[in-house]
A and B are shown apart, each in its own frame.
Chain A
Amino acid sequence: GAVVSQHPSWVICKSGTSVKIECRSLDFQATTMFWYRQFPKQSLMLMATSNEGSKATYEQGVEKDKFLINHASLTLSTLTVTSAHPEDSSFYICSARELAGGDTGELFFGEGSRLTVL
């Protein structure tokens, strides 16, 4: 099956710093990637849809200037949490959809990145 790799898995940073998370599709081209945030014991919350070569589409309530998304190639999307604060501490997960042949819309998820802001 399709593989999505996310890096880093864990990151601890000081308040006010910026953190970049990478999401790569290793064996397929992903024109669209999705970024989710998940707080403990809660479901996935879609933050934004990242389209290769164009601006990301953000969900209501998600600050575009705080969560910068770049999808510069068909295999890489990045999420940068700018000026991170403790309330940004969460589990961030990316996913991509492989569209080759019978699309069931199955999403392939990265391993997730746990961000802790001190």
Chain B
Amino acid sequence: GQNIDQPTEMTATEGAIVQINCTYQTSGFNGLFWYQQHAGEAPTFLSYNVLDGLEEKGRFSSFLSRSKGYSYLLLKELQMKDSASYLCAVRDSNYQLIWGAGTKLIIKP
């Protein structure tokens, strides 16, 4: 079956750096997405990786290793507003998005 694994919850300190990991097993691969979702709101797009390596976008970076079925989202200079759930999603060979359960990130002062 298809599976996306990411930690349920993480805690970090304001100003610090946090890495949220995502491992996947899917039928084919056509890209990996990271979305941010604040409580009670719809997800917003953060990043897209289809080739191996690191994609940097401001304070957020996303890494992909297709051979390992692994990605991480790196958040730097954490701010209180970064407290949210972070969803990892993989597009399979049928171009269907398979969603992880999300990682709830708690930022402490």
A residues lining the B interface (CB < 8 Å):
6, 42-46, 91, 93, 95, 104-112, 114
Contact = CB atoms under 8 A, between A and B. Distances in A.
B33 A106 contact: yes
Contacts of B45: 106-108
Interface stretch (B17-25, B57-65, B75-83, B99-107): B99-107
5 contacts: A95-B42, A105-B33, A105-B97, A111-B41, A112-B42
Given A43-B102, A44-B87, A106 B41 contact: no
Interface string B90-103: 01000111011110
Interface residues of B, number: 20
Interface of B: 30-31, 33, 40-45, 48, 50, 87, 91, 95-97, 99-102
A95 B42 CA distance: 9
A107 B97 contact: yes
B99 A43 contact: yes
A109 B31 CA distance: 18
A95 B87 CA distance: 15
A20 to B, nearest CB: 19
Contact of B101 (A6, A43, A46, A93): A43
Contact of A109 (B44, B48, B97): B44
A44 B87 CA distance: 9
Please give me the 5 A-B residue pairs with the lowest Cβ-Cβ distance, nearest first.
A109-B42, A43-B101, A112-B42, A104-B48, A43-B99
B97 A112 contact: no
B95 A105 contact: yes
Contacts of B42: 6, 93, 95, 109-112
A28 B89 CA distance: 24
Nearest to A107: B45
A31 B91 CA distance: 19
Contacts of B30: 105
A21 to B, nearest CB: 13
B6 to A, nearest CB: 10
